[in-house]
Amino acid sequence: MAKHPVVVYGASGYTGMLIIDFLIDQKIPFTAVGRSAARVKEMMAERVVRLESAVYEIIEAENDKAALVSAFKGARVVCNTVGPFSKFGYPCVEAALEAGCHYIDTTGEQAYIKNLRDNLGELYRQAGLLLSPCISYMYTMSELAAELVLEVEGIDSIETACINRGPRNNTSGVTVGSTASVFEMFRHPAYYLYDNELLPHATESYYDIVAPEMADTVFCLPWGGGALPIYYQQDSRVRSFTSCAGFYDTNVMKVAHGVAQKWEAEYKDLSAQEQDKIIKQLVDSTTPTMPPRERSTLQRSFDFAVGRGNLACARATVYGVTPYITTGALQAAAVQKLLDNETAKIGFASSSKAFGHKYMLGFLEQRGLARHRVEIF
């Protein structure tokens, strides 16, 4: 049973420890939960900033609903970082509901998010709890840009792009969990929203994004479709929504594009066990270890939304640094609102709908993690 109001599940992982950094900064006591208490203790001692000033406990629990209910009871908010979420997330979401906790996580996996909305959203609403997956750099920053565009009267169609840069010529800026989630998404269709209907992207879909922030085009992919078409499908302001993502390293993105097509041609009809082996091989070959802490001189991003109506047109850009550190800040921002009982939504809702996009953006801007610009045409 948790002694503190916030649970960080996956506390020995890269993102879990960054969330803990910001909880400590906000002076929020927490319970760190992981499969191995010894591993959690070791990694927190190695990587968590100002741990000596924290109020916390460590609980060991397997990724099993009953074990997690026992670990979560007594808390008010569960922050889940254990991915791929389509594979490991459901016991945690169900356990948080049974334990009476708000649930937030860092996923960007569209199929998982849609399943939570359709199967658990109403149960969370009836319990008076928030179910808010995908409070993370990808795709909260794009959502913030979309919400800024939607402040312009007459906008009803949105296109967003999430573009970031890490260390050149390698993937060491991406975590093991994120890589596994990317390859896990190949198992599921990727959807965009068109005229209030979810339609599947073609496997070969890609975008050559032109942006004033770049001297060259950026090769972007639907990246599993993203969270935002699911969140905006039930938003009366929006008829159409397309989301894509890309890294400055075009070669890396084209390799990912090729793997997606190879999956469709060769792997999609294999058994789940055979697919698991392929995904493990892909993860091990591309992201074998936990990356070092991000540097703002290397990890930079910009997310933009272009909005159109019949005659209205606007563009909003949110500039950022250090996407994983930003994810830790976004999670802490959501936790603070939930502990203060300041949420505009219960049930399935994004962070912008639950807490307000101006609050979420302001939290980042106050900490030097983001700034924004809006242009109306």
DSSP assignment string, 156-176: -EEEEEEEEE-STTS-TTS-H
CA–CA–CA angle 63, 119, 13 (5° rounding):
30
Which one-letter amino acid corresponds to residue 321?
A: V
Does pLDDT of 67 surpass 90? yes
pLDDT of residue 255: 85
Instruction: Report d(CA 370, CA 351) in Å as an integer.
Output: 16
The widest CA-to-CA distance across the chain, in whole angstroms, is 59
- Any idea what DSSP says for residue 221? B
Strand extents, DSSP E, 228-285: 240-247
On whether the CB atoms of residues 332 and 26 are closer than 8 A, the answer is yes
On whether the CB atoms of residues 356 and 131 are closer than 8 A, the answer is no
> Which of 133-147, 248-262, 360-374 has the weakest average pLDDT?
248-262
Residues 156-199 pLDDT 10s: 999 999 999 876 654 456 887 788 888 888 889 999 999 999 99
pTM for the full model? 0.95
> What confidence tier does 276 reach under pLDDT thresholds 50, 70, 90?
confident
Q: Where are the alpha helices (DSSP H) in 340-369?
A: 351-355, 357-366
The CATH fold assigned to 137-323 is Dihydrodipicolinate Reductase; domain 2 (3.30.360)
Residue 82's nearest CA partner among 66, 102, 58, 103 is: 103
Both structure tokens of 17? 């420890």
Question: Between these two residues, 287 and 284, which has the higher pLDDT value?
Answer: 284
Mean pLDDT to the nearest integer, 289-295: 85
Question: Between these two residues, 91 and 183, which has the higher pLDDT value?
Answer: 91
Question: Between these two residues, 284 and 61, which has the higher pLDDT value?
Answer: 61
Residue owning tokens 């001692």: 45
pLDDT of residue 248: 79
Question: Between these two residues, 286 and 138, which has the higher pLDDT value?
Answer: 138
Percent of the chain with pLDDT over 70: 98
> What confidence tier does 267 reach under pLDDT thresholds 50, 70, 90?
confident
Residues 21-49 pLDDT 10s: 999 999 999 999 999 999 999 999 999 99
Indicate the SS3 state at residue 130: strand
What's the residue count for the chain? Answer: 377
Domain ranges across the chain: 6-136+324-367, 137-323
> Which of 6-10, 11-15, 175-179 has the weakest average pLDDT?
175-179
CATH class of 6-136+324-367: alpha beta
Mean pLDDT to the nearest integer, 75-81: 98
pLDDT of residue 35: 95
Strand extents, DSSP E, the chain: 6-9, 30-34, 56-60, 77-80, 102-105, 130-132, 157-165, 191-194, 197-200, 207-209, 218-220, 240-247, 300-308, 313-321, 347-348, 370-376
Q: What is the residue-averaged pLDDT of the chain?
A: 94
Residue owning tokens 């409070």: 135
Instruction: Report d(CA 365, CA 26) in Å as an integer.
Output: 16
Residues 122-144 pLDDT 10s: 999 999 999 999 999 999 999 99
Phi, psi angles (nearest 5°) of residue 87:
-95, -40
Phi, psi angles (nearest 5°) of residue 336:
-60, -45
pLDDT of residue 290: 79
Residue partners of 79: CB distance under 8 A and separation at least 6 = 6, 7, 8, 9, 16, 19, 104, 105, 331, 335
pLDDT of residue 168: 60
- Strand duo 130-132 + 207-209: pairing: unpaired
- Other beta carbons within 10 angstroms of residue 217's beta carbon come to 13
Percent of the chain with pLDDT over 90: 79
Mean pLDDT to the nearest integer, 291-313: 94
Does pLDDT of 272 surpass 90? no
